C-alpha cells in the first residue's frame, strides 16, 4: 500500500526566510523565554538550597527544595507549614515553620510552646527538643492581623519570631517542599 510514497515529514527550515525575519523570530523566542522564566520564578516556583541548620531535622544544610510561590495567592498559610520568608533587615530568604496564625496567642514556658493556652503538638521535632524563650521570656505574645509566628525546628540554633517577632504575610514568599518529597 505504501509503495511509491515518500516520507512527507517536514522540518522547519529558515532557508527561504529573509535574515531580518529570522532575527525577529529568534528575538521573539528569546524575549518570550526570558519573560516565561521571570514569571515562573517570581510567581509560580523557585528551586533553592537550604543554608544553615535552623530547620534540622526537617531540612538539612545544603538540601535542595522547591519554593511554591503561587500557593498563598490562592489561600492563607496554615500552621505547621514550612515557609520561605524574606525579612528586610536580613539579605537572604529564611526557612521557618508557622507556629501561630493571626490573632492567636503564643507562650513559651518550661521548654514547650503553647498556642491559645493549648500545648502545641510538634511531631516534626526530635523527642526532647527544648524550646528556649529568647527575648519572649514567659510572656504571652499576641500575633497581629496578617502576621504569623514562625520558629525553626532546631530551636537551639534558630533566629526566628522569638527574636524578631511575628512576620507579616507579605514577607512570606512561599511554601517549602523538599525536592525529594514528590508533593
Nearest Cα residue to 82 out of 173, 5, 1, 4: 173
Please provide the DSSP assignment of 108-120 as one string: EETTEEEETTEE-
Distance CA 40, CA 48 (A): 14
Q: Give 75's DSSP letter.
A: S
The total domain count for the chain is 1
Q: Are 169 and 150 in contact (CB under 8 A)?
A: no
Q: What is the pLDDT of residues 32-76, one digit of tens each?
A: 999 888 877 776 777 777 888 888 888 888 888 888 888 898 899
2 in a structural domain: no
CATH number of the domain encompassing residue 86: 2.10.109.10
State which residues form the domain around 138: 45-178
Model's pTM, two decimal places?
A: 0.77
Residue bearing the bigger pLDDT, 24 or 139: 24
Mean pLDDT of 78-82: 96
Q: What is the pLDDT of residue 1?
A: 54
Tell me how crowded residue 94 is: count the other CB atoms within 10 A of its CB. 23
What confidence tens digit (pLDDT) does each residue in 83-126 have? 999 887 777 888 999 999 999 999 998 889 999 999 999 999 98
Amino acid at each position: 500500500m505504501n509503495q511509491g510514497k515518500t516520507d512527507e515529514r517536514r522540518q522547519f527550515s529558515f532557508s527561504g526566510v529573509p535574515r531580518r525575519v529570522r532575527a525577529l523570530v529568534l528575538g521573539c523566542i528569546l524575549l518570550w523565554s526570558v519573560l516565561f522564566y521571570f514569571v515562573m520564578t517570581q510567581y509560580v516556583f523557585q528551586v533553592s538550597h537550604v543554608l544553615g541548620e535552623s530547620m534540622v531535622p526537617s531540612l538539612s544544610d545544603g538540601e535542595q527544595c522547591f519554593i511554591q510561590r503561587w500557593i498563598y495567592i490562592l489561600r492563607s498559610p496554615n500552621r505547621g507549614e514550612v515557609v520561605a520568608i524574606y525579612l528586610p533587615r536580613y539579605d537572604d530568604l529564611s526557612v521557618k515553620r508557622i507556629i501561630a496564625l493571626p490573632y492567636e496567642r503564643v507562650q513559651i514556658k518550661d521548654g514547650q510552646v503553647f498556642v491559645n493556652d493549648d500545648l502545641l503538638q510538634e511531631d516534626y521535632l526530635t523527642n526532647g527538643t527544648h524550646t528556649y524563650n529568647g527575648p519572649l521570656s514567659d510572656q504571652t505574645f499576641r500575633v497581629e492581623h496578617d502576621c504569623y509566628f514562625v520558629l525553626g525546628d532546631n530551636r537551639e540554633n534558630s533566629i526566628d519570631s522569638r527574636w524578631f517577632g511575628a512576620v507579616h504575610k507579605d514577607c512570606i514568599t512561599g511554601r517549602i517542599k523538599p525536592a525529594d518529597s514528590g508533593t
